[in-house]
Structure 1
């Protein structure tokens, strides 16, 4: 028994209790990070700050209105955050809310190879494409604007989606982990005045999504066949196959491909 009446079991229980709460809060923050809900959360934080100031300085009128907002705040939050709450409950129902990805480095290498192979194939044939890869920031709200796919990421499927005159070739494909989760999606267009006038809607959409999330987005120009990539509000233009591969490895925290299985498969394809 420790001083103060606390034993090791009690301390362990309290620690686990606090850790679970912080973990759930962290997952919720990751769920809404980069979405419109973040701005709403900032607004709520301002209201709470005003409420605390009204108590500290005894501002009766301000406190009254702040209390009214807080009293009805739960209902307001449910209404405003309905899409995010629904998405969280869906993930919880699928068992993915509290689980981590067990995707191996070899799997990630194969997926990068599929993206690069598809991108270079389309570039050589001047097939326009827009591919957005989710990282830490959730971009599920943009996936919901398109057509659900939920298919395994392969270069055949990715290329087929952007084939001209097919129902899904317009808009963006969104990739999450090892899945193509949606196609024909709408991405927010950048309003930056610094984007070159020669760049079209696909490039503006790629810049737009990179300005509000940490997603990595690949663009293939239909006019020139040039490959570009946006990440963190920066545009990388005229990428070669090797440069695109290195960029994907860098921003997905991958080392150069060393998998024997991947090398063997690549050798068979080249042969």
Structure 2
């Protein structure tokens, strides 16, 4: 037994170890990416079909085995269609280059604080007066396709401008406003809705749209409920609700300042934010 193991190890070189580690890391990242998403359930169904195919071959179930094997020949095309949203998100994740400076990096700390103060003042007003609002903060993933669905604004962020855009009688009130750096790029934009089945039925289109855009990009959604005035933030397809204005301010500052910094910061405050969400629910 020991001799067999030694023979196997003697044939393993340094490049083989590197190869195994890379493959293991890729598999680990793929499993982590599809975890707790719609893709997880699809993968489970696919694995069940593969298991049935092997079982049918072992027990000589010729008809069932023939059907499944022929179905798998078309499976590659079917997987591309079924997993299209997940594949798009994965490719966008891989394609985010650190060599291209994010929009937030164009701001200095003082400007970031001024921008945050303007947004916070507007959000506080929206919450107290139950004015519905959906503000999308673009990060590394460009949202040009979303911007094209709305009206181009391209103006500096101000509390007054945000108030006018989301005023109940304004024509752009029901759409999303896209923020890039210190500028409002567009308003009245149409967002993709989340297909999650686990969301509360109390959440309307505004919240589903806010979550949906974060499932397809690294954008951050700031949402104010028109019915209750509750403030929420969506990140990576996860929604954090019942936030007070101080929490929102700290979160936005962490987002801006983490993008300004040259170090790779993961906005640790968001982890605390989502733990509070679970406690509130």
Given the two structures, how large is their TM-score scaled by the length of structure 1?
0.56
2:112 alignment partner, SS class:
helix
The size of the alignment, in residue pairs, is 160
Query: 5 Å matches for 1:141-220?
Result: 141-220=145-224
**Aligned pair 1:223/2:242, yes or no?**
no
Correspondence for 2:126:
122
Quote the offset at 1:97 in angstroms: 9.6
Question: Is the Cα–Cα contact under 8 Å of residues 148 and 183 in structure 1 kept in the other structure?
Answer: yes
2:125 alignment partner, SS class:
helix
Query: 5 Å matches for 1:1-271?
Result: 101-254=105-258
Cα separation, 2, equivalents of 1:123 and 1:100: 26
Question: Is the Cα–Cα contact under 8 Å of residues 105 and 254 in structure 1 kept in the other structure?
Answer: no
Quote the offset at 1:165 in angstroms: 1.3
Quote the offset at 1:253 in angstroms: 3.2
Change in CA separation of 1:252 and 1:103 when aligned onto 2, cut-off 3 Å: closer
Cα separation, 2, equivalents of 1:133 and 1:100: 10
Tell me the C-alpha RMSD between the 2 structures.
Answer: 2.2
Cα separation, 1, equivalents of 2:253 and 2:246: 11
Change in CA separation of 1:178 and 1:99 when aligned onto 2, cut-off 3 Å: closer
Quote the offset at 1:252 in angstroms: 2.6
Q: Deviations over 1:146-173 (max 9, x none)?
A: 0000111011101110001111111100
Cα separation, 1, equivalents of 2:182 and 2:218: 18
Structure 1: state its 5+ residue gaps. 1-95, 256-271
Cα separation, 2, equivalents of 1:225 and 1:156: 19
Given the two structures, how large is their TM-score scaled by the length of structure 2?
0.54
Structure 2: state its 5+ residue gaps. 1-99, 260-281
Cα separation, 2, equivalents of 1:106 and 1:212: 31
Cα separation, 2, equivalents of 1:192 and 1:226: 21
Q: Deviations over 1:205-236 (max 9, x none)?
A: 01100101111111110000000010111111
Cα separation, 2, equivalents of 1:156 and 1:175: 15
Quote the offset at 1:101 in angstroms: 4.9
Question: Is the Cα–Cα contact under 8 Å of residues 149 and 181 in structure 1 kept in the other structure?
Answer: yes
